[in-house]
């Protein structure tokens, strides 16, 4: 399966790369918190719209010009802003009203957690905490970078407790920003997994598909397979959600056609 798709879409990297700078609108490696907010904005929204919403937040809050996180997003300024202001900046993203409330609450939770961690630093031995963590907390620089020190399971649990952050958002942050092997289940991955028969097409949900494939797919394949499913789902007309033999581009074929069981009918629409 991986080899077949690679023959069409190119050989994938064998490692999980650092987050891509261009989509974030500033020249600094995105932080875990950056990734969490971006993933939230991306949910149920087209990439150009969610990326524009994130860029609007960055420009509005301004990047930090000095201090421990120079060049990073001033998330504390967003936290202190009114929800209506946040909504105005992210309205290009779908469900902007809900997401503006989620962002406000997430940032408040991160702030409170950072301050709680700061109060514990005085009782921790020197090798349990880094000077960077102390300086960020003292400077009100909001950060989730301490998740790097947790196991994948604990980091995932810490992410899904935030409002609006479901399994898909958390798994994307785990994969792309914590660089841990993970297999997020988005629209394309869910559809292709059902058509492959990897999960029951009439019973599986995105969450159950994620839980099943997270266990079944070998760690070393998760990043590459996720990228392949995404690229193939976007490029292949036959693997679209509502296509059939009369659809333009159907004649171009599909490299994994012989592996799939497709829904019948020219415009058979699958949920998910």
CATH value at residue 255 = 1.10.1670.10
Of the residues 176, 206, 221, the one at which a domain ends: 176
Q: Which helix (H) or strand (E) holds 59?
A: helix 47-61
Q: Are residues 154 and 35 in the same domain?
A: yes
Average of per-residue pLDDT across 150-175: 96
Domain boundary among 128, 150, 176: 176
- Percent of the chain residues past pLDDT 90, beyond the cut: 63
**Residues 147 and 76 both lie in one domain:** yes
Residues 1 and 115 in one domain: no
CA 112 to chain centre: 23
Q: What is the mean pLDDT of the chain?
A: 85
Q: Are residues 155 and 110 in the same domain?
A: yes
Whole-number Å distance between alpha carbons of 56 and 75: 13
- Domain of 216? 1-16+182-272
Instruction: Give the residue among 194, 187, 272, 200 at the shortest CA–CA distance from 233.
Output: 187
Mean of pLDDT values over 67-87: 93
Which among 72, 78, 71, 12 is positioned nearest to 41, based on CA atoms?
A: 78
Tell me, what's the pLDDT at 8? Answer: 38
Domain boundary among 134, 158, 176: 176
Quick one: 138 and 241 in the same domain? no
Q: Are residues 112 and 230 in the same domain?
A: no
Q: What's this model's pTM, rounded to 2 decimal places?
A: 0.84
Are 127 and 259 members of one domain?
no
Using alpha carbons, select from 72, 49, 45 the residue that is nearest to residue 61.
Answer: 72
Is residue 133 over pLDDT 80?
no
């Amino acid at each position: 399966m991986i080899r077949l798709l690679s023959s069409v879409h190119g050989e994938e990297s064998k490692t999980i790369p650092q987050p891509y700078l261009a989509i974030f609108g500033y020249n600094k490696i995105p932080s875990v918190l950056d990734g969490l907010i971006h993933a939230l904005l991306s949910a149920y929204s087209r990439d150009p719209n969610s990326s524009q919403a994130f860029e609007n937040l960055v420009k509005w809050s301004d990047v930090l010009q000095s201090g421990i996180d120079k060049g990073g997003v001033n998330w504390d300024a967003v936290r202190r802003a009114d929800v209506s202001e946040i909504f105005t900046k992210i309205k290009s993203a779908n469900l902007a009203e809900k997401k503006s409330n989620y962002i406000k609450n997430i940032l408040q939770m991160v702030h409170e957690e950072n301050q709680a961690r700061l109060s514990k630093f005085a009782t921790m031995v020197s090798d349990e905490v880094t000077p960077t963590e102390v300086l960020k907390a003292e400077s009100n620089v909001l950060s989730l970078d301490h998740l790097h020190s947790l196991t994948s399971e604990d980091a995932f649990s810490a992410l899904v407790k935030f409002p609006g952050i479901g399994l898909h958002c958390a798994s994307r942050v785990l994969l792309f920003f914590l660089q841990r092997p993970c297999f997020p289940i988005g629209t394309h991955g869910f559809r292709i997994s059902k058509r492959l028969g990897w999960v029951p097409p009439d019973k599986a949900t995105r969450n159950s598909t994620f839980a099943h494939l997270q266990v079944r797919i070998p760690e070393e394949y998760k990043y590459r397979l996720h990228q392949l499913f995404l690229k193939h789902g976007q490029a292949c007309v036959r693997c679209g959600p509502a296509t059939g033999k009369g659809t333009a581009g159907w004649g171009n074929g599909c490299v994994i056609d012989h592996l799939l069981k497709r829904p019948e009918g020219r415009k058979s629409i699958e949920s998910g």
